[in-house]
Amino acid sequence: MRHIARYKTDVAHPDYSTTVPHACGDYRVQDVGSANPRFIRLTMGTLPSNKEARNRAAIPVAAIFQPMASLRPDEDVVPLVDLGEHGPVRCTRCHGYMNPFCRFVENGSQWLCNLCNHSNETREDYFNHLDMRGIRVDKLERPELCKGTVEYVATPTYIARPPQHPAFLFVVDVSQKARKGGLLRQFIQTMQQVVGVVPPETRLGVITYDAQVHFHVLTKEDQQLHR
């Protein structure tokens, strides 16, 4: 089954279009199997079909990824997929993730990776039947089978180390010019506000510099002193 992205450029086109909207334009995207271009955008809207055409085009194929890009308020939020203790379904050969372009065969017991064409066995907890058209009956109920972008709940195997507390390191210009211009005073005022709102476990660090770089060791005693 072929999926065609649908974009809506509010200004120029009243209807949905399959042309990737201009990066600076005002557009709304409905994810029907392809990622919103806010998350991933290629340097060309149409890919050359063969090597010769690619050489003639002389445009490098590159992609800009912004996984945390802000969406318009009227766009759907990225769905969260929780596949339990077994985690995301991935190709055993190339480790590609299950996506709308993977194809289920053998009444759902096998699936073909669209990236490397490897035939994978459908794991037991993920099995479902196919309809008359050979499409999984739960396709529209599973975001990873019908959306271009999903978020996964990561299982412990994806976590190399436990989540760390947030840390912020501020690098501050303390040269005479900066001090005279009020930059340092402004920084101190801002920091006093920041310290009041960040979670208590947050680690804050400060490096100051003028002609030299100064590192500061802030101990608990210092905190008492400056409070």
Give the number of other CB atoms < 10 A from CB of residue 41.
Answer: 18
Nearest distance from C-beta of residue 222 to Zn ion, angstroms: 54
Which residue stretch of 50-58, 60-68, 85-93, 154-162 sits at the interface with Zn ion (rule: CB under 5 A)? 85-93
Q: Which two tokens stand for residue 169?
A: 């390191």
Out of 116, 195, 198, 207, point to the residue binding Zn ion (CB under 5 A).
116
Strand 167-173 versus strand 203-209 pairing type = parallel
Nearest distance from C-beta of residue 82 to Zn ion, angstroms: 23
Out of 96, 108, 143, 148, point to the residue binding Zn ion (CB under 5 A).
96
Q: Is 188 in the site for Zn ion (CB under 5 A)?
A: no
Strand 110-112 versus strand 6-9 pairing type = unpaired
Nearest distance from C-beta of residue 86 to Zn ion, angstroms: 18
Which residue stretch of 4-12, 107-115, 122-130, 132-140 sits at the interface with Zn ion (rule: CB under 5 A)? 107-115
Which residue stretch of 111-119, 133-141, 158-166, 217-225 sits at the interface with Zn ion (rule: CB under 5 A)? 111-119
Q: Is 102 in the site for Zn ion (CB under 5 A)?
A: no
Q: For Zn ion, give the closer residue by CB, 110 or 190.
A: 110
Out of 3, 6, 103, 118, point to the residue binding Zn ion (CB under 5 A).
118
Class of residue 131 by CB neighbours under 10 A (exposed 0-12, middle 13-18, buried 19+): exposed
Which residue stretch of 35-43, 87-95, 147-155, 216-224 sits at the interface with Zn ion (rule: CB under 5 A)? 87-95
Q: Is 3 in the site for Zn ion (CB under 5 A)?
A: no
Sign of CA dihedral 28, 33, 39, 45: negative
Question: What's the Cα-to-Cα distance from 15 to each of 26, 55, 109, 202, rounded to whole Å?
Answer: 14, 34, 39, 47
Q: Are 184 and 178 in contact (CB under 8 A)?
A: yes
Q: Is 115 in the site for Zn ion (CB under 5 A)?
A: yes
Out of 29, 35, 91, 178, point to the residue binding Zn ion (CB under 5 A).
91
- Residues 109 and 106: their CA atoms lie apart, in Å, by 5
Class of residue 111 by CB neighbours under 10 A (exposed 0-12, middle 13-18, buried 19+): buried
Q: Is 206 in the site for Zn ion (CB under 5 A)?
A: no
Q: Are 48 and 115 in contact (CB under 8 A)?
A: no
Q: Interface with Zn ion by CB under 5 A: which residues?
A: 91, 93-94, 96, 113, 115-116, 118
